[in-house]
A and B are shown apart, each in its own frame.
Chain A
Amino acid sequence: MKIDLYKYAVAAGLTRRGLLKGAASVGALAALGGLAPAGRALAGGHGNVRAEILKVPGVGMGSPTDADWQKVGEMCLGPTMERVAQGEFAGVELTFMGLNNQNLHNFLFRGFLKPWEAYTGAKINWIDLAQADYNARLQQAIATGTVDFDILEMGAPFEGDTAGRGLLDEMPGWVSEQIDESDLVGYLQPPVGTWDDKKYRVTIDGDCHTFAYRKDYFGAGAIGGETVPSTWQEVNAASKALAGQTDPLTGLPAHGYLDPLKGWGGFGFYFIANRATAYVKHPDDPAWLFDADTMKPRVNNPGWVQAIQDVMDLIATPGAYPADQINADPGTTAFQQFLAGTGSMLMWWGDVGSSARTSDTSVVGDVVGFGINPGSDRRYNAAAGAWEDVANEAPQMAYIGWGIYVTARVSGDEAKRKAAWSAAAHLGGKDLSLWMSAYPSGFQPYRNSHFNYEEWEAAGYDRAFVEDYLGSNADSYNHPNAAVEPRIPGIFQYYSVAEDELAKGFAGQYASAQETADAIAAAWERITDQIGRDSQIALYKASLGV
C-alpha cells in the first residue's frame, strides 16, 4: 500500500475502539481457521498466517519497522521451507538491484529476505537506486554488457529490453506454483511476464489509471449535470459546459476534465492514451499503439486523432481549462489542481484516491468519487479501417506494475538459480503480498485475493473506504478489454518523443490534430527503424502473445 493511503486509513478510518474490535475479530477468525478464501497458496497450510501477519505491527500502530518486516518475512517462510532444505544455499551469494523510493522497496525486501537468508544460508548484496537513476542504470548495464545483478526489481515495460534480449532466466515451474499465479488479476496473467511463452516475472505490484471525479459537480441540480460522465464525449461536453461557472467548493472558476498538456519524462503520454484507448482499443485486437505485423504506428489513425482533437477542442474553449494548463504536467493536474479543488475530473494512478483524503493540501477528500476510465459511444476498428457505432470501454493499465526477475547470470549454476528464484518467490508470495497491500510498501493490490474486503475489515480497516479504494482498481484490472501497453524495447522513447510533438500541437504549432499525430507517427517510425524494425515486430508480437 502507498504510505499516504495507509496514513489515511489510520487517521480517518480507525478509532481505537474500532481497532480493538478489528484486532479481536482477526483473532477470532484466526482461531476459526483463517480468512483466506478458496484457492489459497501453499501458505494455506499455515492456516492463520494471513490474519497473523496483518497484526504486525497492527493497523494504526505506527509505520512498520525493519523488525516488523523481518517478522513478517519469517512468518511467510512456510512455502520456502517446503521447497528448500535448511542451509541448502550455504555459500551462495546473490546481488539484488532495486529501488529505494520513499525508503520502501529494497528496504522492505531486505527485511523480508533476512529470515530467508538465515534459513537458506544464502547471502544477498544490494544495489539501491533512486527512481530517476533506474532507467539509465538498467539501460547502460544492458547496452554495455555489464549486467552485475542476479535478481532485479523491474517494471513490465522493460521486459522488452531484458527478456527480449535473452538477459533473463526462465521461471521454473515450481515458482509459479509457490506464488499461486492463478490468483493474479486478469491483466497480469500472461502474456504479461512472458516472452515466447516462457515465464520470467514474479509479480509484486499492479498499476492502472482510474477515473476520479468531484461528486459535488455531478448529481441533481449540480453544475456539471445530472450524471457523472462515463464516456469521453460526455466528459468533453461537461467540460465545455462548465466553462464560466463557479466551483461549488472553492468559489473559484469551475473546470471540467484536467488534461496534462505538458510532458513528464514520457509518463505524460499515458494521459492522452487514456482518452485514446476508449476509441482505439478494439476488443478483437490486443494491439492499439502499433500494427503488430509492421510496427506501423496507429497513433495517427482516426481514433487517436479524435483523442488529440478532443484535447484541442477544450484548449480552444475559453475557460474550459485553468489558465496555465499548457504548463501543467500530470503531477500538476493531480496534486496542484484536482486535489487543491481545481477541476472536476481526472485520470491518475491510485495515489490520487489515497492522497485526496490524506494529503494536507487536499480539499476534496469528502467530495471525491472513483470509477474506471471513461468509454466512448463509438470505436475505431484499425483492422477494418472504419469507425463502428458500438460503445467501447478500455481501462489503461499504465505501467503494469513492478515485478521481480532473475537474470541469466545465474542460469549456469543450478544452486544459485534455485536460490535466486526462491528469493523472488518469497517476495512474491501470496501471503506476503497481502501484507504489502495492507501496509506501506509502495505496491498496489494485484491479486484477486487482495479484494476480499472481509480480510481488510477484520484487520481493522474501514470497510467503506477499502471498497471505494479497491473497487475501481479491481474493475479496471479485470476488465475484458483492458489496454495493456506494449512491452517492447525503448517504449518510453516513443512516449517521450510523442510528448514533444504533442506539446507543439497543443501550442498551436501544427495546423491540426491530424498533423500533430502524423508528426508523432513519423518520429515513431524513426525510432523503430533505429532500434530495428524486424526485432521490434518480433518482440511486439511476443509481448502481445500472438
Chain B
Amino acid sequence: MVSTEADYLHIVTADNISAARIRFGKTIMWASAALLCVVGLVQYLDSQGIVSLGFETWRPTLYAFLIWASCLCWGQVLLYGERGKLALFVLPAALFAVAMVVFPLIFALGIAFSNWNLSSPTGRQFNGLDNIRQMWGDPFYWNALKNMVWYTLAIVVEYAIAFGLALALNAQIRARKFFRVAFLLPLMLSPVAVSWMIGKSMLEIRFGPVAHLVRELGFDQISFFGSPEMARFMIMAMDAWTFIPFMMIMILAGLQAIPKELHEAAEVDGASGWRRFWEITFPLMLPVSITAILIRIIFKLKLADIIINITAGGPGGATDSVTSFIFREYRDRSNVGYGTLLAIVYLVLIVIAMTILMKLADRWMRPRY
C-alpha cells in the first residue's frame, strides 16, 4: 500500500493507526471472507445433494456476500484510515459490478458450454466444445452474422444522411426549431411501434397507404418483404429512420460547438463552401462523428425487434439478425445452452470489433494539422 505520508496533497490528516486496529481490520476481513467461502461451499454441497441441510434458497450466501463486502469496506478504513475512506468511493461500486456483471458472466460461460434444453429431463450437462462445433456448422448463425455485416455497412449511408440533415438544421433556415423537434420524433418511437405502424400497417401490401401510392404510380404487384434484397433493404430503412435522428442530434451538437471564427476566417481567405466543409467542418467533426458511429454500431448490433415483428427473419433468413436468431433459439426452442454460447460468441466478436474500431478511430482522429 502507498504510504500516506507521501501524499500530502490529498490527505488532510495523517492517521495514527494502532497495531490493534490493523489486527482487528484484518480479522474482520478474513473472517468474513472465510464465512462467505464456508457458506457458499456448504450451500453448493447441499444443492448437489452431497450434504443435506435443507437450504431452500441461496439467500444465506447472499447475506454472507453482503457481510463480506461490508467488512471489506470497513476494513479499508480500519487499515488505511483517510486513504481507506477514499477507497470507499469506488469499492462498493466495484463490488456491485463484480456481483452483477462478472459473476453472471462466469455463470453464463458455464451455461454456454453446456447441453441445456429446458425440456430435457436430465437438465444441464457440461458438453465441452459441442456447442461451438454446432455453431460452426450452423448455417442460420452464419447467415445471421453475414446479414449483420450488411446491416452495419448501412451505417455509412445513415451517417451521410444524418450529417446532411444536421448541416441543414444548423443553417439559418426557416422554422429551424420546429424541424429539429420534428426530425427527432422517430427516435422517440419504440421500434416495436415502428414495426407495427410502418412495417405491418403502412407497408401492408393491399391496404397500406405506401403500397397504395406505389400502385398509383403504376407499379404492379409490389411486395416490400417478398424478395431477400428488398426485405433487407426495408428493414435497414426502417431502422435507419428510427436512428438517423440520434446521429443527427449528436452531429448537430458538434456543429454548434465549432467556433464561427474559423469559418469566417476561411471565407475571408476565399475558401469555397465545399472546401470550408471538407477542410474545417468535417475534420473538426471527426471526434463527434466517430463517437456517433460507434454508438450507432452498438445499437445496430442489437437490432432484433423490428425483424422479429415484421419478417421473423425471413424470407428464408434474408433479414435474420444474430439477436433475432438467438431469440428464436432461446425463447421458441428453450435451447438455453446453445443460445447462451451464441450470445457469448457474439459478445466476444463485438468486443474485438469495437476495440479495433476504436484503435482505428483514435488514429483517424489525430489532427492533420
Please give the residue numbers on chain A whose beta carbons come within 8 Å of chain B beta carbons, in ascending order: 135-136, 139-140, 142-143, 160-161, 164-165, 252, 261-266, 322-324, 326-327, 329, 336-337, 340, 342, 489-490, 492-493, 496-497, 499-500, 503-504, 506-509, 527, 530-532, 535
Contacts and interface: CB of A to CB of B under 8 A. Distances in A.
A140 B206 CA distance: 41
B120 A263 contact: no
B312 A263 contact: yes
- Closest 5 CB pairs between A and B? A507-B316, A490-B119, A496-B332, A489-B119, A327-B225
B121 A532 contact: yes
Which of B115, B119, B312, B332 has the most CB atoms of chain A within a 10 A radius of its CB? B119
A332 to B, nearest CB: 9
A507 B228 contact: yes
Which of A143, A261, A329, A489 has the most CB atoms of chain B within a 10 A radius of its CB? A143
B3 to A, nearest CB: 51
7 contacts: A266-B332, A324-B224, A496-B328, A496-B332, A503-B313, A507-B314, A532-B122
B70 interface: no
Contacts of A493: 117, 119, 332-335
B231 interface: yes
Bin chain B's interface residue count: 35 or more
Given A336-B204, A336-B206, A142 B333 contact: no
A252 B226 contact: no
B207 to A, nearest CB: 7
Given A490-B334, A496-B333, A503-B316, A342 B206 contact: yes
A265 B332 contact: yes
B332 A503 contact: no
B206 A340 contact: yes
Contacts, number: 121
B76 interface: no
Contacts of A530: 115, 117, 120, 335
A142 B118 contact: yes
B288 interface: no
Contacts of A504: 316-317
Interface in B240-289: none
A327 B118 contact: no
Contact of B119 (A336, A500, A531): A531
Given A324-B223, A327-B223, A531-B117, A492 B314 contact: no
B81 interface: no
Interface in B309-355: 310-318, 328, 331-336
Contacts of B313: 263, 500, 503
B140 interface: yes
Given A490-B334, A509-B317, 15 more contacts: A143-B336, A262-B312, A266-B332, A323-B205, A323-B221, A336-B204, A490-B117, A490-B120, A492-B332, A493-B117, A497-B333, A503-B314, A503-B315, A507-B315, A531-B121
A347 B315 CA distance: 22
B318 A507 contact: yes
B225 A508 contact: no
B185 to A, nearest CB: 27
Interface in B100-121: 115-121
Contacts of A336: 204, 206-207
Contacts of A266: 332
B221 to A, nearest CB: 5
Which of A139, A324, A535 has the most CB atoms of chain B within a 10 A radius of its CB? A324
Contacts of A322: 205-206
B109 to A, nearest CB: 19
Contacts of A143: 116, 118, 123, 334, 336
A336 B221 CA distance: 17
Given A139-B334, A492-B332, A252 B121 contact: no
Nearest to A337: B206
Given A324-B223, A326-B225, A340-B206, A140 B118 contact: yes
A340 B207 contact: yes
A161 B119 CA distance: 6
Nearest to A140: B118
Which of B120, B310, B336 has the most CB atoms of chain A within a 10 A radius of its CB? B120
Contact of B226 (A140, A326, A497): A326
B315 A535 contact: no
B14 interface: no
Contacts of B333: 490, 492-493, 496-497, 527
A155 B224 CA distance: 36
A164 B231 CA distance: 42
Contacts of A500: 140, 313, 317, 328
Contacts of A509: 316-317
B356 interface: no
A82 B366 CA distance: 87
